[in-house]
Amino acid sequence: MNVVLIYSGGLDSTVLLYHLRNEGHEVRTLTVDYGQRHVREIESAGRIAERLGCEHRLADLRSITSLLGGSSLTSTEVQVPDGHYAEETMKATVVPNRNMIMLSVAAGWAIASKCDAVAFAAHSGDHAIYPDCRSEFADALAAAIRLADWHEVTLIRPFVALTKAEIVKKGAALGVQFADTWSCYKGGALHCGRCGTCIERREAFQLAGVDDPTAYAPTAPGLDELILNNWRLQP
């Protein structure tokens, strides 16, 4: 198949990129700049796609950031909370309708370039605080994407039943260079090691029994401390 992959340069979508290519698909990658402060992930995306010889395009949607209000992902005036995703405070990281916006642009590119599918790396651990990570949302949007053109495009989520730890295992088997991927929401020089997405990343390596090559900031709490503070490791 010819596939347009929503590609953030993060761990999940990088493993999905390797996975799709390993399955024999032709993949082109789309990174959306929605004004995220963690611009590092955009650089990671470009670098990894280039190394793999995949077409990589950037959709600059920064003009709509102000319409979508003050998420901590896009505004330096709102702090990225520390702690586990499960905590109420992580709601500050919601960007309204982000997934539909990214998927609609990807579907437009897929239609224009006669691709068969749009892929994104939703997984089973995507969180109750992100309403547009729900399966029923993706199912409804998949139906709309199928109807958006006479040329039918399928929305695929190959990792929807996997945990993040299982994605790490799969990535290790595929030879993914994890150190090149970027997760941290804060967008510093190193992964902070304490925001929701950093904790999830660290947990996933730990649970997968895969060595975590990520360079975390010196101020990141240790894994023992995370557990003690109820920043829990999920099964």
Binding site for its own copies (CB under 8 A): 30, 57-61, 63-64, 67-69, 95-101, 103-105, 107-109, 111-113, 131-132, 134, 136-137, 140-141, 143-150
Question: Closest CB to its own copies among 136 and 211?
Answer: 136
Alpha-carbon gap, residue 212 to 201, rounded angstroms: 9
Close Cβ partners of 117 (under 8 Å, ≥ 6 residues apart): 1, 2, 3, 4, 110, 153, 154, 155, 156
Contact 60, 36 (CB under 8 A): no
Question: Closest CB to its own copies among 47 and 134?
Answer: 134
Close Cβ partners of 108 (under 8 Å, ≥ 6 residues apart): none
Minimum CB separation of residue 139 from its own copies in Å reads 9
- Name the 3-class secondary structure at 216: strand
**14's tokens:** 């990088």
Minimum CB separation of residue 123 from its own copies in Å reads 18
Minimum CB separation of residue 110 from its own copies in Å reads 8
Minimum CB separation of residue 171 from its own copies in Å reads 28
Question: Closest CB to its own copies among 66 and 124?
Answer: 66
Minimum CB separation of residue 71 from its own copies in Å reads 9
Minimum CB separation of residue 214 from its own copies in Å reads 31
Backbone angles phi, psi at 199, to 5 degrees: -65, -40
The phi-psi region of residue 27 (left if phi > 0; otherwise alpha if psi is between -120 and 50; otherwise beta) is beta
> Which H or E run includes 33?
strand 26-33
Question: Closest CB to its own copies among 43 and 149?
Answer: 149
Question: Closest CB to its own copies among 81 and 108?
Answer: 108
Question: Closest CB to its own copies among 30 and 80?
Answer: 30
Q: Beta partners for 55?
A: 28
Close Cβ partners of 208 (under 8 Å, ≥ 6 residues apart): 165, 166, 168, 169, 172
